[in-house]
Structure 1
Amino acid sequence: MAFIEVEEGVRLFYEEKGQGRPIIFLHGVWMSSRFFRRQVPYFSEKYRTILLDLRSHGQSNHVHYGNTVSAYAKDLNAFIGKLGLQDVILVGWSMGAFVVWDYLKQFGEGNIHSTVIVDELASDFKWPDFKIGAFDIDTLIVFMTEIQTNRSPFLQSFLASMFKNELSVADASWMLGEVTKMPESIASAILFDQSIVDYREFLPKINVPTLLCFGRLEKVIPVAAGEHLHKNIPNSELVIFEDSCHCPFIEESDLFNETVDGFIQKGV
């Protein structure tokens, strides 16, 4: 467990285990690297496995500026540079997918071996020409208001919606603890930004091998989102996890780990 300063006053928490090609797991909005604990034992046998808390999330320090996907991608670039990582595999879940795409957009693919995208749309917003988006403006307003005035009950319900099956009391408790670590002001700021970024025009420019992992149950993200990505990202492969919703790496962790590893090994 360690911290690294990627910008003056911005310290990111990370954990790493294992040796070999680096694989970095990037979490969703409000979440943290703790959600990827089931990946560490498996991947650390073959890879330098890194769990990273994005700016203001998890155990990284709370910073009341730069809470945008673009800034998080810059942080990721600085993190990779400071650790001297080469030929990196990026795994982006939910908002973490946006961070992956923004990194590729800003810094190119030269140091990236492959990417894994987990249950995310090209844009979360339901634009007039993108009907499969997750949020319309009315939903976004409700979410912003709930974060400011009713956060814990709202997030308890939101967390439950991410899984096919009911969470245990223990899991619901630690997850709620993770997603309420940051102040409401930061939670609102990054929710708004990550809800309106749009990577549709960028997708065809992605050339690195890309694995798309989607849960069959559509409480949060529709399977059509994965089909849209697969159609628009040239070198991509789509896998549907039949017993998962938004978190196949938790809900079907063994199958997820084996699927991602198999994908990586094909490109070695």
Structure 2
Amino acid sequence: MKTYIEVEPGVELYVEDHGSGDVLVFIPGFTFTTEVFSRQVDHFCKTHRTIVIDPRSHGRSTMTVHGNDYATHGADLQKVLQALKIENPILIGWSFGCLTVWEYIRQFGTDDMKGQVLIDMPPKSLSHNENQDWVEGKLDDMAAAYTNYLRNPKGQRDFISAYANSVMVQRDLTEEELSWLVEQSLTTPYYIAANLFSSGLFSDYREEAASGSQQIPTLYVVAEHWSSTARPYLNKLAPQAAVDVLGGHMMFWEHHERFHTLMEAFLTKQT
């Protein structure tokens, strides 16, 4: 089923709902769409009710100049779950989609969650302790990305292209694959992307990351390129969580079979 759910007057989110059983809800990252999870939908809808969402101002959802922050995204998620009458889902966020999961926990707690899978996102993006903390990058580098790229459509194209080729996958992308990724991102206008970028970078969800892992089953899947920092950081912040390392930032797409194996092992423990 493909549908649109109104989360406030004039703002609809595009949602796909496939299969039956225990519920998995996939939330894409910064400016990406339901399309990135097509392999997960095909695989998991055979055994689970599998839901994917285009967040506000992403993909086929309404483009709006307000609410482009993760506090609003967390509230939007709750409205989608209510509209679909979903109980006890496992929420699965990728990249900035993890911020939506943590914001949901901040606002609504974990009582109605069965578990969470957090794909390759630190709970606090920026830190002065860059040699000890798992962060998105150095402050100057993040500021340069915002200032130099997210000011016009070409800059956004260049930013996503560079990120896709250098961080998201571990092999060379074909022209068709790169175009597919960039075109998804460009459905979000650059001026909205800039708002989302700054909202994400200045978020701090360490408290929710710690408490969530204490209250519900939690799996982190982190990319190989920063696993030496991410794993000890998570072991200290969220020691109850399971932590697996795989591929690049988009490992669930590039190494989907191995990712599905990790997910299935986690899901088996929840049955």
Asked if structure 2 preserves the Cα contact closer than 8 Å seen for 1:212 and 1:230, the reply is no
Asked if structure 1 preserves the Cα contact closer than 8 Å seen for 2:134 and 2:233, the reply is no
Partner of 2:223: 215
Asked if structure 1 preserves the Cα contact closer than 8 Å seen for 2:125 and 2:136, the reply is yes
- 1:160-194 deviation line (CA, Å, top 9, x unaligned): 12111111111111111000111111000010000
The equivalent position to 2:259 in structure 1, one of 248, 256, 259, is: 256
- Aligned mates of 2:244, 2:17 — CA distance in 1: 27
Partner of 1:93: 94
- Aligned mates of 1:49, 1:261 — CA distance in 2: 14
Tell me the TM-score normalised to structure 2 length. 0.92
Asked if structure 1 preserves the Cα contact closer than 8 Å seen for 2:133 and 2:233, the reply is no
TM-aligned CA deviation for residue 233 of structure 1: 2.0
Aligned to 1:141, what secondary structure does the other structure show? helix
Partner of 2:177: 171
- Aligned mates of 1:198, 1:33 — CA distance in 2: 25
Runs of 4+ in 1 over 3 A off after TM superposition: 127-132
Superposition pairs of residues 100-249 of structure 1, within 5 angstroms: 100-128=101-129, 131-145=133-147, 146-149=149-152, 150-161=155-166, 162-206=168-212, 207-218=215-226, 222-241=227-246, 244-249=247-252
How many positions carry a matched residue from both structures?
263
Aligned to 1:201, what secondary structure does the other structure show? helix
2:55 corresponds to which letter in structure 1? Answer: L
Q: 1:117 to 1:227 in 2, by over 3 A?
A: farther
Asked if structure 1 preserves the Cα contact closer than 8 Å seen for 2:124 and 2:135, the reply is yes
- Aligned mates of 1:6, 1:105 — CA distance in 2: 19
2:21 corresponds to which letter in structure 1? Answer: G
List alignment gaps of at least 5 residues for structure 1: none
Asked if structure 2 preserves the Cα contact closer than 8 Å seen for 1:121 and 1:226, the reply is no
Aligned identity (percent) is: 28
Aligned to 1:23, what secondary structure does the other structure show? strand
- Aligned mates of 1:40, 1:193 — CA distance in 2: 28
